[in-house]
Amino acid sequence: MAQMVKKDDDRDEEADYSPFVGIEKGAVLQEARVFNDPQLDPRRCSQVITKLLYLLNQGESFTKFEATDVFFAVTKLFQSKDIGLRRMVYLMIKELSPCADEVIIVTSCLMKDMNSKSDMYRANAIRVLCRIIDGTLLTQIERYLKQAIVDKNPVVASAALVSGIHLLQTNPDIVKRWSNEVQEAVQSRAALVQFHALALLHKIRQNDRLAVSKLVTSLTRGTVRSPLAQCLLIRYTSQVIRESSTSNQTGDRPFYDYLEGCLRHKAEMVIFEAARAITELNGVSSRELTPAITVLQLFLSSSKPVLRFAAVRTLNKVAMTRPLAVTNCNIDMESLIADQNRSIATLAITTLLKTGNESSVDRLMKQITNFMSDIADEFKIVVVEAIRSLCLKFPLKYRSLMNFLSNILREEGGFEYKKAIVDSIVILIRDIPDAKESGLLHLCEFIEDCEFTYLSTQILHFLGNEGPKTSDPSKYIRYIYNRVILENATVRASAVCTLAKFGAMVDSLKPRIFVLLRRCLYDSDDEVRDRATLYLNTLGGDGAVVETDKDVKEFLFGSLDIPLVNLETSLKNYEPSEEPFDVKSVPKEVKSKPIAEPTGLRAPPAAAPAPTVDTYERLLSSIPEFSSFGKPFKSSAPVELTEAETEYAVNVVKHIFDGHVVFQYNCTNTIPEQLLENVSVIVDASEAEEFSEVAVTPIKSLPYGSPGQTFVAFEKPGGVTAVGKFLNVLRFIVKEVDPSSGEAEDVGVEDEYQLEDLEVVAADYILKVGVSNFRNAWESMDPDTERVDEYGLGSRESLAEAVGVVINLLGLQPCEGTEVVPNNARSHTCLLSGVYIGNMKVLVRLSFGIDSRKEVAMKLAVRSDDISVSDAIHDIVASG
């Protein structure tokens, strides 16, 4: 009760000074009637407008009717000469954003103000008018605006320029005509005018690269006075640098001197803008970077938080790619860990984690522990990720880092945060053998009290793979079986799997595992019971202790070497019959390469879109002419033979057989008034000597919109990678179709349509098949089949481009994510695998190097099932 009274007191007190206590829309709208009084009271009117603005500002909204009403009333106030009131009227009109027919009422008043003697009237009238008018009215006042841009009063000029920037979006053609005036305004002595003029001028010219480049060239030589304009110019300059991108012969970057000069500007915002621009230059050299880092380092010890934040944020970004460049700042950075501003402290820590050396790790961890509890989850994730990469860099320090991770794992946190920690621990376990046992125990403790089903199941799966290989697997059993007792069905089911894996791998544990699995047979959930039954049977749980045979281990642990998508489509196509589904019939080819860094718990990336190998096979086997060819070795992705949106759309799929090649032309007729008959492709194989045509199957009728296929088959020498170029012409009989009846005419005209050329290349004889462990696969191949040679690839844009070209040329599957080349890398190793025609396994190891002149050299090492295949791969590269 006392509380209530106290509150009322507050109210009263507030009422003393707030003019808006108990303010209510209806009442204020009533008050707005004073606008219509014949004898205006400016002070009172101002107060009412303030109240209206206050209501709008608090989030109150007016109905259409109320807004119109207020608008008309407000327009009456133009009669008053009171400056203050006029100013409020301007504000009110902007807030109400009247519709077109209402605008007309105020235009004349505003235009009068635009030509008033008072600069304040003029500036504001311009801003209001430009905010509310449309294109036609704009042409009427264009003349005044052009004058205003070069007005000697800076406020007026700025008002016109800023309005121009806004109007450019809606009426670009009109504003573009003001170029000359804007250009003049760029030379203004008033700082802000210069800034606004430069912004507008650039916006007018932004689609013309040459003009922007000229603008930058002339202004960087001259003197731009305003710091804000200087910042703009720095942005435009880096844009020009980015787009020109080629440094000249001496290796100097154009305009770098200008950016470097800005580092000595007297305004901090300009110094910072320039420093940031330098750090963001493409492929910035250490020499270019140093002066920028030096000024940022000075900012780190500034008394202003904003300056420290800006500097540490930029340095943090630099540290991601160039940690060495930032190490000089480490001492200043360390003092920021205790910064009152937590954002600054977090950025400092993550920077240090990227740049730190082995000796500083322990000290850093101590400092971080103190501060982890009072930052937000998003920052924590950043810290965890930084710690993970630090640990991989200094494996000897795993103990303190692992302890840190397990400590924070026990604290409160959301899913994303916990997942980041678990992922990190898993990666450390994988990469640092010494860390395995302690890491697994930390994870075990975590699942004892884990609220996230996803994390529990992932950890159980991981435990099943890693746990049995440790020195004392039995100590994990308790944790796993606890899950069977305490958790939900999903977690219980994966716990059963984990138990089974321990049973299969560790014979001494088998009897105990069987006891536990048998208990699971009484589980309330189907899936849990099913799994327990399955494992008991496969492991021989009904009999005595038996040696688990290889098949069972393969079944439990073997990786499914079939892309999941392929399996899914095959299962969908399977029709229930006497014949059981055969996993071996699922195609193994991976269509598009999955590019994903293997991180943490995520399963090995599965293939993307479903290949249509199945459908091709069925289609081809249904054509009698091709039945003798056998199974196709490979079907290529469709290659377009026509431009988009032409009359006839044709693409081709190359089916490679052992002794034949079949081209499947998919044709679409895109003209409703035509019916095509007897459609075939005439292939000129004169540039493909080893091929001879054996069969053609035309399309009988190709009506509008429904695609059809015509095939051309060639014979070629078996087992040889015959290559060649084929010229194609589409031949058909065209018949006019009456659009109203849909009836075709009886008589047709023979016609031809030129298609693009088609090539059969070496890569067509190679299947993309990945291997999970390249090193093992490589070791298991006969070293005698190895062929090594070196090639020069000439000058290339970047290493990544060279790697991409070779991968495409060979048509092999990149393994272990090695197709991704880190930025600025000078050398790179790429691992490829696949199957060559004749079911020959091929593994390729590519080592690339790039020199300062962008010349790329490559070492190619091949191992395969047959030495002739290794030679063939070299031939492909040599001739490519």
Partner 1 sequence: MENCPSVKNLLLLDSEGKRVAVKYYSDDWPTNQSKLAFEKSLFAKTQKTNARTEAEITLFDENVVVYKFVEDLHFFVTGGDDENELILASVLNGFFEAVTVLLRSSVDQREALTNMDLIFLCIDEIIDGGLILETDGTTIAGKVASHTIDEGAPLSEQTITQALAAAREHFTRSLLR
* Burial track 123-161 (b if 16+ CB lie within 10 A, e otherwise): bbbbbbbbebbeeebbeebeebbbebbbbeebbbbbbbb
- By CB under 8 A, residue 298 contacts partner 1: no
- By CB under 8 A, residue 842 contacts partner 1: no
- By CB under 8 A, residue 380 contacts partner 1: no
- By CB under 8 A, residue 175 contacts partner 1: no
Alpha helices by DSSP H, 506-544:
510-520, 526-538
Residue placing its CB nearer to partner 1 in the complex, 311 or 607: 311
- By CB under 8 A, residue 117 contacts partner 1: yes
- By CB under 8 A, residue 122 contacts partner 1: no
Residue appearing with tokens 């007005």: 151
Least distance in angstroms from the C-beta of 80 to partner 1:
13
User: Residue 156: which residues within 8 A CB-CB, separation 6 or more?
Assistant: 119, 122, 123, 126, 148
Tokens of 856: 């790329």
Residue placing its CB nearer to partner 1 in the complex, 59 or 792: 59
Residue placing its CB nearer to partner 1 in the complex, 54 or 72: 54
- By CB under 8 A, residue 864 contacts partner 1: no
Q: Binder to partner 1 among 25, 44, 76, 87 (CB under 8 A)?
A: 87
Least distance in angstroms from the C-beta of 110 to partner 1:
16
- By CB under 8 A, residue 265 contacts partner 1: no
Nearest to 425 by CA among 452, 453, 463: 463
Q: Binder to partner 1 among 111, 269, 809, 861 (CB under 8 A)?
A: 269
- By CB under 8 A, residue 20 contacts partner 1: yes
Tokens of 452: 């996230």
Q: Could you give the CA distance from residue 449 to residue 412 in angstroms, rounded to a whole number? A: 11
- By CB under 8 A, residue 119 contacts partner 1: yes
Residue placing its CB nearer to partner 1 in the complex, 305 or 717: 305
Q: Fill in the DSSP letter of residue 758.
A: E
Q: Binder to partner 1 among 136, 223, 250, 303 (CB under 8 A)?
A: 303
Residue placing its CB nearer to partner 1 in the complex, 272 or 774: 272
Across-strand partners of 769? none
Q: Could you give the CA distance from residue 482 to residue 468 in angstroms, rounded to a whole number? A: 18
Q: Could you give the CA distance from residue 741 to residue 583 in angstroms, rounded to a whole number? A: 51
- By CB under 8 A, residue 307 contacts partner 1: yes
Q: Binder to partner 1 among 34, 53, 111, 649 (CB under 8 A)?
A: 53
Q: How many residues bind partner 1 (CB under 8 A)?
A: 64
Stretches 300-308, 737-745, 802-810, 836-844: which one binds partner 1 (CB under 8 A)?
A: 300-308
Residues 203-262 that bind partner 1 (CB under 8 A): 203, 206, 228, 231-232, 235-236, 238-239
Stretches 70-78, 339-347, 354-362, 473-481: which one binds partner 1 (CB under 8 A)?
A: 339-347
Tokens of 731: 């031949």
Least distance in angstroms from the C-beta of 251 to partner 1:
25
Residue 716, CB-side half-sphere exposure with 13 Å CA sphere: 22
Q: Binder to partner 1 among 11, 189, 304, 410 (CB under 8 A)?
A: 304
Residue placing its CB nearer to partner 1 in the complex, 94 or 591: 94
CA dihedral 360, 364, 366, 369 (to 10 degrees): -160
Burial class (CB in 10 A: 0-12, 13-18, 19+), 120: middle
- By CB under 8 A, residue 155 contacts partner 1: yes
Residue placing its CB nearer to partner 1 in the complex, 196 or 654: 196
Amino acid at 877: V
Is 669 within 8 Å of 646 (Cβ atoms)? no
Residue placing its CB nearer to partner 1 in the complex, 178 or 236: 236
User: Residue 465: which residues within 8 A CB-CB, separation 6 or more?
Assistant: 501, 557
- By CB under 8 A, residue 593 contacts partner 1: no
Dihedral sign (CA 203, 209, 210, 215): positive
Residue placing its CB nearer to partner 1 in the complex, 192 or 733: 192
Q: Binder to partner 1 among 29, 40, 45, 49 (CB under 8 A)?
A: 49
- By CB under 8 A, residue 58 contacts partner 1: yes
Backbone angles phi, psi at 159, to 5 degrees: -60, -45
Least distance in angstroms from the C-beta of 64 to partner 1:
17
Q: Binder to partner 1 among 166, 461, 512, 553 (CB under 8 A)?
A: 166
- By CB under 8 A, residue 522 contacts partner 1: no
Least distance in angstroms from the C-beta of 122 to partner 1:
11
- By CB under 8 A, residue 706 contacts partner 1: no
Strands (E) in 657-797, as ranges, are 660-669, 674-687, 692-697, 699-702, 708-715, 724-736, 749-754, 758-760, 766-768, 787-795
Nearest to 20 by CA among 61, 66, 53, 67: 53
* Sequential DSSP letters for 761-784: -GGGGEEE---S-HHHHHHHS-GG
Least distance in angstroms from the C-beta of 797 to partner 1:
23
Alpha helices by DSSP H, 589-726:
613-621
Least distance in angstroms from the C-beta of 365 to partner 1:
24
Question: Under the rule (CB under 8 A), what is the footprint of partner 1?
Answer: 17-20, 46, 49-50, 53-54, 57-59, 61, 83-84, 86-88, 91, 94, 117-120, 127, 131, 153, 155, 158-159, 162-163, 165-166, 192, 195-196, 199, 202-203, 206, 228, 231-232, 235-236, 238-239, 268-269, 272-273, 276, 303-307, 309-310, 313, 340-341, 343
